[in-house]
Amino acid sequence: MIVVLHPSCTPEQQEAVVRRIREAGLGAHLSQGVMRTVVGVIGDDRTKEQLRTMLEAMDGVERVVKVLQPYKLVSREFQPQTTAVQVGPVRIGGPEVVVIAGPCSVESREQILQAARAVKAAGAVMLRGGAFKPRTSPYSFQGLEEEGLRLLAEARAEVGLPVVTEAMDARQLELVLRYADMVQIGARNMQNYTLLREVGRARCPVLLKRGPAATLEETLLAAEYVLAEGNPSVVLCERGLRSFDNHTRFLLDVGAVPVLQRLSHLPVLVDPSQAAGKRQWVPPLARAAVAAGADGLLVEVHPDPERALSDGPQQLRPQEFADLVRQLRAIAEAVGRTLAALPVGTP
Amino acid sequence: MIVVLHPSCTPEQQEAVVRRIREAGLGAHLSQGVMRTVVGVIGDDRTKEQLRTMLEAMDGVERVVKVLQPYKLVSREFQPQTTAVQVGPVRIGGPEVVVIAGPCSVESREQILQAARAVKAAGAVMLRGGAFKPRTSPYSFQGLEEEGLRLLAEARAEVGLPVVTEAMDARQLELVLRYADMVQIGARNMQNYTLLREVGRARCPVLLKRGPAATLEETLLAAEYVLAEGNPSVVLCERGLRSFDNHTRFLLDVGAVPVLQRLSHLPVLVDPSQAAGKRQWVPPLARAAVAAGADGLLVEVHPDPERALSDGPQQLRPQEFADLVRQLRAIAEAVGRTLAALPVGTP
Amino acid sequence: MIVVLHPSCTPEQQEAVVRRIREAGLGAHLSQGVMRTVVGVIGDDRTKEQLRTMLEAMDGVERVVKVLQPYKLVSREFQPQTTAVQVGPVRIGGPEVVVIAGPCSVESREQILQAARAVKAAGAVMLRGGAFKPRTSPYSFQGLEEEGLRLLAEARAEVGLPVVTEAMDARQLELVLRYADMVQIGARNMQNYTLLREVGRARCPVLLKRGPAATLEETLLAAEYVLAEGNPSVVLCERGLRSFDNHTRFLLDVGAVPVLQRLSHLPVLVDPSQAAGKRQWVPPLARAAVAAGADGLLVEVHPDPERALSDGPQQLRPQEFADLVRQLRAIAEAVGRTLAALPVGTP
Amino acid sequence: MIVVLHPSCTPEQQEAVVRRIREAGLGAHLSQGVMRTVVGVIGDDRTKEQLRTMLEAMDGVERVVKVLQPYKLVSREFQPQTTAVQVGPVRIGGPEVVVIAGPCSVESREQILQAARAVKAAGAVMLRGGAFKPRTSPYSFQGLEEEGLRLLAEARAEVGLPVVTEAMDARQLELVLRYADMVQIGARNMQNYTLLREVGRARCPVLLKRGPAATLEETLLAAEYVLAEGNPSVVLCERGLRSFDNHTRFLLDVGAVPVLQRLSHLPVLVDPSQAAGKRQWVPPLARAAVAAGADGLLVEVHPDPERALSDGPQQLRPQEFADLVRQLRAIAEAVGRTLAALPVGTP
């Protein structure tokens, strides 16, 4: 980092800054300009967040500029090759684009089985579905909880797709892991650090959604929590940001896909359904994501969206999803990739 | 709510919409305009979020407009008089403006005792301090945890100020409640519904911070989770929104104070320290908050901010805080209020 | 529109509301609910913005909800078929995807001629380049002004590509139109209504960029200004929104493409260069835009970006642009379109 | 500025960076860290925006960090004492807080005279009112234009308050200046550089409103355009930012007041009416602004808001304004200031 001193900084204040840097085991290099003096900090300061805070609070300091990113284990500088996260037979982060689909919520045995069969038939290789649902209103459907997990497992047994589902809380984690192949950390929980540490310790595949007002740095630092506990199997997911226009529910940050892939070695998925909020905007957003280089998609599909207990307007009907997969196959090929398929012999 | 039908809506689709409304136990009233037909839903639909989702997903429906707010127990329409939340000898939500102060984190026995004495001497009536700290980076100081809680309790015993501190997770709640007088739900946890339900059941005083990208409606629905579990003792807190200029850390939404007070009967505090990010902007934001009608403030004060383990740049020194309290007293009087004082005889 | 009355609305206030609606030549239809009374306004109120303002200001009115969009001439409801805007031999808004390219600023004869030749060779069908440059700082290069326009015309004469360039002010318009085939209204001028009216009267092809904080409704109303003056040749352009993360310069709202195409019959282009801010993010954003259905792109290309007088970091080198066009061709085909080519025989 | 080199930067690329800096007449100072090499640029680079762009575009450069602000004439570093802008008998930027009030638009002789008398009686020292109105919709009232200016002048002649009104375009400027004492540049025109240069040359007092998505740096650079033309009489005005909650029309950035005052020597006003959008939020926002240290306010007041042709819902009635001025007087005193009064003997 670089410490910019204030024009009024006294020699004593400057000396104190240098001392504080050296106390932290780093070098200090002064550079006297015409308008400002700056102090370069020499050494790997990526994990020295506390030093930065202290320097910023010192008298005589105008500001502190980070030169290195504050995350380390997730950075491509630390690990150049892309991480491939294996979930059952599915590999996320390889050359193939992975399509994950299923209903917003698990609502009944029939509904999840219908959905699972439909998304598999259309080409999805993983099944999604919420059993614990974080809902803005306490009067909304909150999920079937453990019963929902059981139904997901039943659907997996029938159709052979590995399952990803959300855990909202560290206490639910053990239960969720009893049934699921991959745990989703939802956008509202991206900075639930207790939960992040727990999934870090659990060493399970993790799908980490970016919060609707999270910077990319905050998102990568959230993933760093998981990796720092020893779990390298993290997949990032962009699902739209809070913005000021309400034609779509959130504003999909499609540019985040290549930026995250450049900054980090973790795979990057996109959830076009959350961002769209309306069924009709899902296909163009999904196509855009694959064209921008996303490693996969998370798409909401419901056998009967008009009867859905949550987010009906944004869930695709099975036929609409099948049409979309055809379009995605063409886009994937246009960018030199293919859609992932299940290995032959999957039930 | 009002359902706006699409110009292409068929009589069968219109009929289905009306039927769905009636199935939910509400009335439907058609109004045929020149350009659109609209269906008014007759009845108290505030808690019928699921019906709205289904209507929005139906063919022939252009959009659904809410006429009533989707929250109920927290609304001023439901309870006209302002709620006063009692925390030990302190009453939040009455005519007096409550100043709560203390360090960002509890760092040591000496630090929290010094801080507690200083803020009490300057006029604060409650003590704040973090024992469990949600930090953006895993390499930042994460709090002293239970030891921090013990030190807070010790400080309370000495100076006589009730204590508010954060619980980050439902599992920590029992522990936090063993020591604290009021539980803070931090901005990152505003939509941690598991935690909201738990503090709802615990019936303790709750300080609920607005998330940095939360709408006022989402904030009130988060509070509704707590009230719906039977806990009416919720205090809201505005602490700044995510925005695009970085001169301040967050953008304080001072207008949220009167709007929340109009929409809801819950008291509204402001945290100018989080929003400011820098010590020098804290006093103007604090004065603005009281001038706008806030029921109190949450101010970070540290005996030696240059040695603080978290958020040093935004913590006031004890003397700066004492100067601020003098200004606030004048502002409070200018808006016809006074600063709350501890009852005579508090230790 | 629908007027929601306040629960405290008196019969006299309600009567006044109804009277005001009827005075405006519209019908009023009362609907009494359990919690609220609403007044439906019967008739085409799209252009009655003044009535809405007055109703909102009346005592007893809680709020006014628009049922119809406030724009008319630009709406797809008013004109179902997509407008095709003809610029010389190029047709924007047809089945073919139009690639427009060239440097951010015209800097010299050699620079613009090199750029023009390169973008034509790579497959662009129109040339862009700024002669009047709106720059955030007065110390930045402000454009060659009329000399820049002359050089653009010279480049057109040599390579045969029609030219689009920006007019920043109504006074510059006549001059710009002497040289250009299409006038660009920049994002900072999207709500410069004097300028919008002038290009409306000039009946020239107009490229209207969305402002970085403009809602889609505001964007369409800006276009409505042009159409209301009798000029139907407007092309919209999304170029990124102001947001809170600075890895890209602006946040490309790729979802705006299908939404604008649904709301309006005007063609929609995307400028990935402005949004990206850095060369390396331009190709993924460009691909995403075409995959989402954009009718064309505006791409910045400079023969030597390291010597560019403005926005060097975001301008592609000629070879990078040629590579991008190849990718775009594949994406266009994947969505059932082709890239536009110049008619045979163009110089 | 500081140039951070990429880890892959070659010696030749580094040499080219240093050469480019020296060609610009500045010094280059290399500092080799463990993880990165940085090049400090020595000299006053505040007005070298072009150099920065070129450096950012060079191979081997990771990013360029500004150490100095890119504005100069408006900065407090350049001129430590606050500028006082004199408008007739009124001094903006001195110890007194200036209240400017009047209707959104001039609508008729009677309306503006009533408004002028009322705001003067309540304590305003300047009159505002729009003759040229930038309106989002072409179907909204667009102002009385020159007739409106004449009526403003008539009101001034009667009540003795100097007049501020908006010019939307360089061509209108001469006309506006024939009648007005101070020219307003509206938020939508904050980056209309042609207009900024013209008001710079006109040397008239200028009220420059911050755009709804403008950073503080962009706002100060817009003011720099005016000062660079030789006009030091610029007053800045915060009027709310675009955000995601619609309870208020814009989000008032009250923190911008102290920040702008620290960065710049120009006076800072606040327009609470634009930000509020609704009458009831104007008083709390106005009080907050004065408490935060604003040098004055711009408040919309209409004799009969329910008949207003623009922005009726946000205009105060005369009595409400008089009540507000009383509150503001108390707040001003609480922060050690007073409300400005007209000199004795003003007509």
Q: What is the pLDDT of residues A70-112, one digit of tens each?
A: 999 999 999 999 999 999 999 999 999 999 999 999 999 999 9
- Regarding whether D26 and D172 lie in a shared domain, the answer is no
- Regarding whether B305 and B218 lie in a shared domain, the answer is yes
Give a yes or no: residue B119 inside a domain. yes
**CATH code where residue A60 lies:** 3.30.70.1140
Q: How far is A289 from chain B (nearest CA, A)?
A: 24
- Regarding whether A187 and A49 lie in a shared domain, the answer is no
* Ranges assigned E (strand) in chain C: 2-5, 27-32, 37-42, 61-65, 85-87, 90-92, 96-102, 126-128, 163-166, 182-185, 206-209, 234-238, 268-270, 296-300, 338-339
Q: Which of residues 211-230 of C touch A (CB under 8 A)?
A: 213, 215-216
Encoded amino acid at A158, one letter = E
Q: How far is D42 from chain A (nearest CA, A)?
A: 5
Q: How far is A347 from chain D (nearest CA, A)?
A: 47
Q: What is chain A's length?
A: 347
CA D171 to chain CA centroid, Å, is 21
Report yes or no: B136 at the A interface, CB cutoff 8 Å: yes
Structure tokens at B220: 């009130």
Mutate to test the interface with D, among C136, C175, C241, C281 (most CBs of D within 10 A): C136
* Ranges assigned E (strand) in chain A: 2-5, 27-32, 37-42, 61-65, 85-87, 90-92, 96-102, 126-128, 163-166, 182-185, 206-209, 234-238, 268-270, 296-300, 338-339
Looking at residue C346, what is its pLDDT?
A: 65
Report yes or no: B66 at the D interface, CB cutoff 8 Å: no
Give a yes or no: residue D93 inside a domain. yes
Encoded amino acid at B272, one letter = P
Which chain D residues are closer than 8 Å to A65 by Cβ? Answer: 2, 65
- Digit-coded pLDDT (tens) for A283-297: 999 999 999 999 999
Looking at residue B345, what is its pLDDT?
A: 66
How many structural domains is chain C composed of? 2
- Regarding whether C132 and C216 lie in a shared domain, the answer is yes
Of D65, D96, D116, the one marking the end of a domain is: D65
**CATH code where residue A225 lies:** 3.20.20.70
Report yes or no: B29 at the C interface, CB cutoff 8 Å: yes
- In the sheet with D2-5, reading across from the earlier edge strand, the strands are D27-32, D37-42, D2-5, D61-65
- Digit-coded pLDDT (tens) for C286-314: 999 999 999 999 999 999 999 999 999 99
Encoded amino acid at D245, one letter = D
B18-38 per-residue burial string, b: 16 or more CB within 10 A, e: under 16: bebbeebebebbebebeebbb
Give a yes or no: residue C7 inside a domain. yes
- Regarding whether C35 and C90 lie in a shared domain, the answer is no
Of D215, D247, D258, the CB nearest to B284: D258
Binary contact (C2, B38; C-beta < 8 A): yes
Pairing of strands D37-42, D27-32: antiparallel
- Digit-coded pLDDT (tens) for A114-125: 999 999 999 999
- Digit-coded pLDDT (tens) for D124-155: 999 999 999 999 999 999 999 999 999 999 99
**Helix and strand numbers, DSSP H then E, in chain C:** 11, 15
Taking the CA atoms of chain A, what radius of gyration do you get in angstroms?
23
Looking at residue D330, what is its pLDDT?
A: 98
Give a yes or no: residue D78 inside a domain. no
Report yes or no: D323 at the B interface, CB cutoff 8 Å: no
User: How far is residue B4's CA from residue B13's CA, in Å, rounded to a whole number?
Assistant: 12
* Ranges assigned E (strand) in D188-332: 206-209, 234-238, 268-270, 296-300
User: How many C-beta atoms lie closer than 10 Å to residue B315's C-beta?
Assistant: 28
Give pTM, 2 decimals: 0.96
pLDDT bucket at A34, cuts 50 / 70 / 90: confident
Q: Of B45-59, B131-145, B225-239, C159-173, which range is least confident? A: B45-59
User: How far is residue D343's CA from residue D99's CA, in Å, rounded to a whole number?
Assistant: 14
- Regarding whether C170 and C48 lie in a shared domain, the answer is no
Query: Does position B174 have pLDDT exceeding 90, yes or no?
Result: yes
Of A252, A291, A335, the CB nearest to C255: A252
Looking at residue B342, what is its pLDDT?
A: 87
Residue of B nearest to A279 (CA): B57
Mutate to test the interface with B, among D221, D271, D287, D326 (most CBs of B within 10 A): D287
Report yes or no: A198 at the C interface, CB cutoff 8 Å: no
Report yes or no: D29 at the A interface, CB cutoff 8 Å: yes
Of A65, A95, A111, the one marking the end of a domain is: A65
Looking at residue D48, what is its pLDDT?
A: 85
Looking at residue D46, what is its pLDDT?
A: 84
Looking at residue D347, what is its pLDDT?
A: 60
Report yes or no: B284 at the D interface, CB cutoff 8 Å: yes
Give a yes or no: residue C71 inside a domain. no
Report yes or no: C128 at the A interface, CB cutoff 8 Å: no
Report yes or no: A253 at the C interface, CB cutoff 8 Å: yes
Stronger pLDDT, A156 or D171, i.e. the higher one: A156
pLDDT bucket at C330, cuts 50 / 70 / 90: very high
Q: Express as a percent the part of chain A with pLDDT over 70.
A: 99
Query: Does position C46 have pLDDT exceeding 90, yes or no?
Result: no
Which chain B residues are closer than 8 Å to C29 by Cβ? Answer: 31, 33
CA B205 to chain CA centroid, Å, is 12
Residue of D nearest to A7 (CA): D77
Which chain B residues are closer than 8 Å to D243 by Cβ? Answer: 241, 243, 251, 253
Residue of D nearest to B213 (CA): D244
Q: How far is A71 from chain B (nearest CA, A)?
A: 8
CA atoms within 13 A on the CB side of A10: 5
User: How many C-beta atoms lie closer than 10 Å to residue C34's C-beta?
Assistant: 12
DSSP labels, A216-249: HHHHHHHHHHHHHTT---EEEEE--B--S--SSS
Binary contact (B242, C242; C-beta < 8 A): no
State the complex-level ipTM.
Answer: 0.96
Binary contact (A194, B172; C-beta < 8 A): yes
Report yes or no: D65 at the A interface, CB cutoff 8 Å: yes
Give me the mean pLDDT over the D228-239 stretch: 98
B121-142 per-residue burial string, b: 16 or more CB within 10 A, e: under 16: ebbbbbbbbbbbbbbbbbbbbb
Contact predicate C337/C96, CB 8 Å = yes
Which chain C residues are closer than 8 Å to D279 by Cβ? Answer: 57
CA A299 to chain CA centroid, Å, is 15
Which chain D residues are closer than 8 Å to A68 by Cβ? Answer: 35-36
- Regarding whether A180 and A144 lie in a shared domain, the answer is yes
Q: How far is D75 from chain A (nearest CA, A)?
A: 14
- Regarding whether A102 and A56 lie in a shared domain, the answer is no
Looking at residue A345, what is its pLDDT?
A: 66
- Digit-coded pLDDT (tens) for A319-332: 999 999 999 999 99
Backbone angles phi, psi at D294, to 5 degrees: -60, 145
- Regarding whether B320 and B200 lie in a shared domain, the answer is yes
- Regarding whether A40 and A167 lie in a shared domain, the answer is no
Contact predicate C126/C161, CB 8 Å = yes
CA-nearest of A278, A9, A239 to A134 is A239
Give a yes or no: residue A70 inside a domain. no
Mutate to test the interface with D, among C193, C215, C220 (most CBs of D within 10 A): C193
User: How far is residue C158's CA from residue C140's CA, in Å, rounded to a whole number?
Assistant: 30
Sequence-ordered list of residues with C-beta below 8 angstroms from that of B207, at least 6 positions apart, any chain: B164, B182, B183, B184, B185, B235, B237, B269, B298
- Regarding whether D144 and D6 lie in a shared domain, the answer is no
Binary contact (B228, A307; C-beta < 8 A): no
pLDDT bucket at A46, cuts 50 / 70 / 90: confident
Q: How far is A43 from chain D (nearest CA, A)?
A: 5
User: How far is residue A220's CA from residue A216's CA, in Å, rounded to a whole number?
Assistant: 6
Q: How far is A44 from chain D (nearest CA, A)?
A: 6
- Regarding whether A128 and A54 lie in a shared domain, the answer is no
Contact predicate D299/D321, CB 8 Å = yes
pLDDT bucket at C47, cuts 50 / 70 / 90: confident
Give a yes or no: residue B76 inside a domain. no
Give a yes or no: residue A75 inside a domain. no
Sequence-ordered list of residues with C-beta below 8 angstroms from that of C19, at least 6 positions apart, any chain: none
Sequence-ordered list of residues with C-beta below 8 angstroms from that of C204, at least 6 positions apart, any chain: C177, C180, C182, C183, C231, C233
Looking at residue D279, what is its pLDDT?
A: 94
- Digit-coded pLDDT (tens) for C101-144: 999 999 999 999 999 999 999 999 999 999 999 999 999 999 99
Give me the mean pLDDT over the D274-296 stretch: 97
Pairing of strands C338-339, C96-102: parallel
Domain that holds residue A50: 2-65
- Digit-coded pLDDT (tens) for C21-40: 999 999 999 988 888 999 99
